Structures are given as C-alpha cells and as structure tokens.
A and B are shown apart, each in its own frame.
Chain A
Amino acid sequence: MKARMESDLQVDLSAIELQTQSALYDLFGTPDDPHWPEVLVSDPRCVSLIDTGALDRAAGPVRRDAKLVERGLYRKHCAQCHGITGDGTGPTAALLNPYPRDFRRGSFKFKSTIQAAKPTLADLVRTIEYGLAGTSMPAMSNLIHGAHYDNDIPILAAYVRFLSIRGEVERRLMMELVPSIDLDAGQKLYDVQLKESHPSKFTAQKSKVDEIVVKVAKAWIEPERSEIVAVDELRFDVNAMQDDALRDKFLHSATRGRQLFQGEVAACSQCHGKAGDGHGKLVDFDEWTKDWTIRAGIDPKDAKQWKPLKKLGLLKPMSSSARNLQLGVFRGGSSPEALHRSIVHGIDGTPMPAAARQPSVKNGLTESQIWDLVNYCLALGAPELRKSLETYHGEL
C-alpha cells in the first residue's frame, strides 16, 4: 500500500500534491500505520479526540491477531465505498447514488449540531449503526451483537473523524499554504530532511502546518449542539392522532405549514415541489460537486467541460435531488425534533439551506412557523394525514 502510494507520489502526483502528501505522511502516518500529529497529542484540549486504540483497531488490513482482536475494521466495512483515505472514491463509488461521502471536506449531513458545525461522535455512531435508508450506506447494527463486536461502531466513528481531520488538513494545505510557496525556486512546504540538517528551518515550516492542523482539529472538539426551541402546543406525535381535537389542531398547524412551504419566505416548494414530492424546478448540486465544478469555473451540466477531469478520478457530477417528502423517509431522522433541526440548520453540504429566522432576518420565520412546517412535513409523510389535509377546511 505504502509502496504504491510512494510510487504514485513520484510518478503521478503534481508538485503541489507531492508537497502536501509528504507533510501528511509525517503528520498522520499511512493508512496501514496511522498516528495523530504530535501537535494534537501534546495539546490538552485535544484529549477527547486522540484515540490511538481506535486507530489501532480500525486501520490497516483486515485481520485478527493472536488474541482474537479484530483489526482493519475500516477496510472491512467502509473502504470499498468511502476509499482508503476517506476521499469518497472507493472502488464501488461510481455506481452508487448518492455517492459515498468524501470525509475530506469535513461536512456531514446528518447531525445534531448547528449549521456548518462538525458532527458529534454520537452523530457518526448513529449513522453507522442505523445506516441511511434508500442509500448504499448500510446499517451496521449487526456489529454490536456478541461480545467480540461491542466497540466496533464507536471505533469506526472515531476513525472517520480521524480521516476527516486528515483530509481537511490535506485540503487546506493544498488550497491555503502550498500556493504561497515558490515551488519553482525549490521552496518546500514541509521538508522532513531538514529535521536533522536544519532544525530551525524545519520548525518554521512545521509551525505553519501545525497551525492548520490545530485549526481543523479544534472544530471537532465539542461542536455546538443545535438547541430546539420547544413550542409544546405544536409538537405532535403523528402515530397518536386518535383524539379528534388533537388531530384538528395538528391539521390546522400543518395547513399553515403548507402555506409557508409553498410561499416565498420558506420557499421549500422550489426544490421539493408544490406537493412535496421532490419535483421542484431548481436543479442544484451538492458542495462536494461544486468544489471542483462551479467553483473551478466548470459547468457541471456540460459534459464537455467536466469529462476531461474524470481522468483525475473525479466522479460524474450528479445533481442533488430534493427529497420526496411524501415517502415519509427522512434520513436525518423522522422525529419532529430532527425535522426541526433540518429546517433550522439546513443539511450541510447540500442545497438544503438553513431557514431564514426572526429576529436575525426581519421577515424570516418565527419559531411557531417552523413547527408548522415540521407538521406539514410530517403530514406529507403519513398518507392518511396527507389525505385528510387535502380536504381539511379549518379556518386559519
């Protein structure tokens, strides 16, 4: 593996990649033998991140040792789709819809934290354990049965976090630091050979790189949780609607939600369609695609423009289709709170934006209106309630 990557470094990778990869290997090790950067190990704030036991169990080839401890968990369960470095281009990636997540961006869709914040470890555990319905992301709950599998899922989650930090450092080094170096003049980003010969020069180089490493890692320490503002009278359980008065109250709220859904402030119907069936007019792309297309001046809808880049291993741009809410399957969670969170904070990395809310936006949505939207989404996903809503004439 390492030999292959080293060979790639010398033969295939550009000068910028060469610089970045040499820094990454020194900081994070190889996929067979990874380690945390020294700067994080020595930083007391990062104690909660540094889990060398997880690296030991998750990385490297799949195998059991003589004590029957299973290793290589990531390669066993994740690498076929997410790729060995978590870049989202594992062997199967091109055939999947949606594509497997590229961890290097540090963006995760389904989480309990605020917009653009990193997920908690528990968020990653939940996605790994329950999978994502309708996608190729499997539920790995099988791994928690039996004494030998007890800790596998948190270990995988911790390794995903490690790969994401490693990957985001890689991106930032390439985009922020390497361009400031005069490569033609022989300047180097991170020259390991200077460690012995010119320690002071190496320290100067390393401190710049370390700054980026700490910046990336810090975002993962206690990311800000999303606070749900409860409006008790608008929080319903769609599975317990036997009471007529309760049902009427729910339909009333959902009807207001429908108006907002189709209106201009929330503007949900532009993507999700007027009926919430996912047939909106807007065609958009996720941030992972936009990174190498729109932001690089390439039209993802024009095959002539993006096709040459496929040779670099990039996957065909796939438009990010809005969810058909009538299916009642919400990947971020089907509870009213989970829907509330998706509306308030949007879904990171996708065209689903955070709602414009009062008081920060003058004409934005109020908290009650957000709960009305939640209730409309819940009604859309429950066929019987959806039908009732169509004939409901309660006064608003």
Chain B
Amino acid sequence: MENSKQSDWPHRWAIAVAVTIFPLIWVGGLVTTQDAGMAVPDWPNTNGYNMFAYPLSAWIYGPFDLFIEHGHRLLASFVGLLAIGLCAIAWLKEPRAWVRTLCFLLLFSIIIQGMMGGFRVLFDARTLAMVHGCIGPLVFALATAVVVVTSPWWHAKDLPTANPTWFRWLAIGLTVSAVTQLILGAQLRHVQPWTKPTSFVTLVHLHLTFAAIVTLFVLGVAAASRSRSNRQLLGIGWPIFALLVLLVVQIGLGVGTWIANYALPWIEVHPELARYTIATKGYWESWIVTGHQATGSLIIATALVLTLRVWRRSSRIEHETTIALPT
C-alpha cells in the first residue's frame, strides 16, 4: 500500500507513551524495592477516595511508601490516557491496519497490566506482583516496537538491505534471553519469605548464568554488526552502542545491588570495607536496586529495536511498500 501522506503524529504519540512508561517502570520498581505494594489497601480507590480525588496533602506528606504507590497509580493512569490518545490518532492517521492493531494491543496490555496491579492489591498476592513486574517491561518493549514501526526510518526506501540470517537470530536470541533474565530478576525481587534457601540459591545462579548469556549475545550482535555483509545496514549502530553501554551499567548495578542488599565481599581487605554497614531501604540502595531493574527493561527495549531494524532490512523478507523519507 503506497501512502505518501504518512503522518508523523502516530510516531510522536508512540514516543510520548514509551517515554512515559519508562519512569512508570522506575516508580514500579521503587514500589517493589520499598515493599510498598500494599501501602494503599484498596483499589481502584485510594484509602476510600476516588484515586484522582485523593487529597494532595495526604499524598505528598503521607508515608513514603504510600507516596510512591499512589504516584505509581496516577502515572499509570496517565500512561493509559496517552495510550488511548495513541489509538485514536492511529485510527485516524495510520494507514497500516497491522500498526493500528499493534496500538490497540498496546492499550489492551496497559489495561491488563493496570488490572494486574489492582488485583495484586485486592488479593494481597505477591505472586501477582511478580507477574505485574514481569509484564511491565514487556509493555514498555511493545511501546518501543510501536515507536520503531511508526518511525520515518521504517518507511524509508532505498536503504541498503542484507541477508543476515544469523544476525537476525542473534538479535532475537538477545531479546529472548534479556526477557528471561528479567523474569529471573523479578523472581528474586518478589521472593516469598517461606521460599527455601536452596530455591533462592538456584535462582541466583540462574540469574548469573543468564547475565553471562545476555553478555555473550550483546558481544555477538556487536561483532556481527561489524561483519562485511552487515556493515551496510543503516540504523543499527546506535542500538548496538546503547546495548554495550547498558550492559556495562547493568553489570555494575548488579554488583551494586548485591552489595546494597547482602554485603560487601572481601571485607578483610581494608578496615573501611569492614566498616561497611548495609542501610535498609536506604537512599542509594533504592536507586541502585531500582536502577538495575529499570536498566533491564531498557536492555529488552533496545534489543527489540535492534531486532526489528535488522529484520526490517533483511532482503529475505518481503516488505510492504515503503515511502520516501521527507526531505
């Protein structure tokens, strides 16, 4: 389908949705870090009030866990409204039916995710909180996918293509392993107090194993992008650079999370290390642990961007007709 009047608005709205979901993931992560999931005992109301009518002073000056939990709800509602707007704009301006479907799928996933968060409160179910924590990054990834497929790059014609079969599968492998890694991390963060120590040890070992697998995949796609056949692919340089940076940051945050939660190794090396005392629900602890979880989401989203772009420029795939980039 040829459409030379491709509107920029679906892309702009998609960016707005994705950019708003990321801080939502941060706040959601902070809710888990602070164990604030049950700071508000009811849903969809907040302490008996309509969520949107909850007194500002009670929210701002109340306990910190209530502040972030109620804030998480308000921000999530805002994301929902933006997603409705995206669907409306896609309905009016987006000519491709499958992209419109993708926008509605995004809205649907945001609604399901919101309900999951609500049911976690109504049933006081930590397992649902864990599922909620796993779905959040997937919703973010879906929003990122909408950004990619509505972007001018996606429509640009005459961009070089390649036949990078193994590159494509490496990118998919990276995305899948990053999602698996995030699910394992969510299990660790939502561990039940009666979970057996052996199960926790197994989870930690799996998390470390997948950290190595994700690292290998990132290095793999970086190496693949430099191969003769793939060097001509445009638009994959920055996702790969971002992945390499995020990987380094994520490994640092992972080590930091361990230190913030459990202890410093090698305390005998120096008296200052021996003096290190963990601070429960501390300021830095919250930033590091929540940052580790949020960076995991960012890795998934970036890996998905890379995957979509590599697949888009694969000469084996019959693309729909593209339009020229605006000059």
Binds A, one of B3-11, B95-103, B154-162, B195-203: B195-203
CB of B201 within 8 A of CB of A142, answer: no
CB atoms of B277 and A133 under 8 A apart: yes
- Roughly how many angstroms separate A6 CA and B249 CA in the complex, as a whole number? 45
Tell me whether chain B's interface is mostly helix, strand or loop, or mixed: loop
- Tell me the complex Cα distance, A142–B281, Å: 7
Please list 28 pairs of residues, one from A and one from B, whose beta carbons are closer than 8 Å in the complex, sorted by A's number.
Answer: A1-B194, A66-B41, A66-B47, A70-B65, A84-B193, A90-B197, A92-B191, A92-B200, A94-B201, A131-B277, A131-B278, A133-B274, A133-B275, A134-B263, A134-B267, A134-B274, A134-B277, A136-B262, A136-B278, A137-B278, A139-B280, A140-B280, A143-B281, A146-B63, A148-B62, A313-B197, A326-B271, A329-B271
Min C-beta distance of B148 to chain A, whole Å: 39
Pick the most buried of B38, B194, B195: most chain A CB atoms within 10 A of its CB. Answer: B194
- Inter-subunit contact B196/A62 (CB<8 Å): no
A396 within 8 A of B: no
Tell me which residues across on chain A come within 8 A of B317, comparing CB atoms.
none
Residues of A within 8 A of B277 (CB): 130-134, 138-139
A95 on interface, CB distance cutoff 8 Å: yes
The residue that B196 contacts in the complex, of A80, A91, A326, A381, with Cβ under 8 A, is: A91
Whether A14 sits at the interface, judged by CB under 8 Å, is no
A65 at the interface (CB under 8 A from B): yes
Against B, the Cβ 8 Å flags (1 = close, 0 = not) of A309-330 are 0100101000000001011110
Query: Apart from A72-B38, A92-B197, A149-B63, what 5 extra A-B contacts exist at CB < 8 Å?
Result: A62-B35, A70-B63, A91-B195, A137-B278, A327-B274
Minimum CB–CB distance from B120 to chain A (whole Å) comes to 12
Can you list, as one digit per residue, whether each of A63-79 has a CB less than 8 Å from chain B (1) or not (0)? 11110101010011101
The number of inter-chain residue pairs (CB within 8 angstroms) is 133
A9 vs B268: C-alpha distance in the bound complex, in angstroms?
43
Whether the Cβ atoms of B66 and A68 lie closer than 8 Å is yes
A2 to B199: give the CA distance in the assembly, Å: 21
Bound CA span A83–B195, Å? 9
Residue of B nearest to A141 (CB): B279
Expressed in whole angstroms, the Cα–Cα distance for A96 and B200 within the complex equals: 12
Closest Cβ neighbor of B201 among chain A residues: A94
| Assembly CA distance A353 to B193 (angstroms) | 34
Does B64 reach chain A (CB closer than 8 Å)? yes
- Please measure, in the bound complex, the distance between the C-alpha atom of A78 and the C-alpha atom of B281, giving whole angstroms: 12
Question: CA–CA, A29 to B66, complex, Å?
Answer: 30
Let me know if B204 is at the binding interface, CB within 8 A: yes
CA distance A70 to B41 in the complex (A): 10
Q: Count the B residues whose beta carbon is within 8 Å of the partner chain — how many?
A: 44
Which chain B residues border A84 with CB–CB below 8 Å?
193-194
Q: Which residues of B are found within 8 Å of A315, using beta-carbon distances?
A: 197
Contact A66 B48 (CB under 8 A): yes
B232 at the interface (CB under 8 A from A): no
A52 close to chain B: CB less than 8 A: no
- B299 within 8 Å of A by Cβ? no
B241 within 8 A of A: no
| B220: interface (CB < 8 Å) | no
Closest approach, in angstroms, between the C-beta of A9 and any C-beta of chain B? 14
Min CB–CB distance A78 → chain B (angstroms): 9
Min CB distance A329 to B, Å, is 4
Decide if A95 touches B47 in the complex (CB within 8 Å). Answer: no
Question: B282 an interface residue at 8 Å Cβ cutoff?
Answer: yes
Check if A91 sits within 8 Å of B191, measured CB to CB.
Answer: yes
A313 partner residues in chain B, CB cutoff 8 A: 196-197
**Smallest Cβ-Cβ distance to B269: which chain A residue:** A327
A358 lies within 8 A of chain B by Cβ: no
B40 contacts chain A at the CB level, 8 A cutoff: yes
Q: Is B127 engaged at the interface, CB distance under 8 Å to the other chain?
A: no
**A108-138 at interface with B (beta carbon < 8 Å):** 130-138
Rounded to whole Å, the gap between the CB of B51 and the closest CB of chain A is 15
Partner of B197, one of A70, A79, A94, A141: A94
Is A97 interfacial (CB 8 A cutoff)? yes
Interface residue? B276 (CB, 8 A): yes
| Complex CA distance for A17 and B8, rounded to whole angstroms | 69
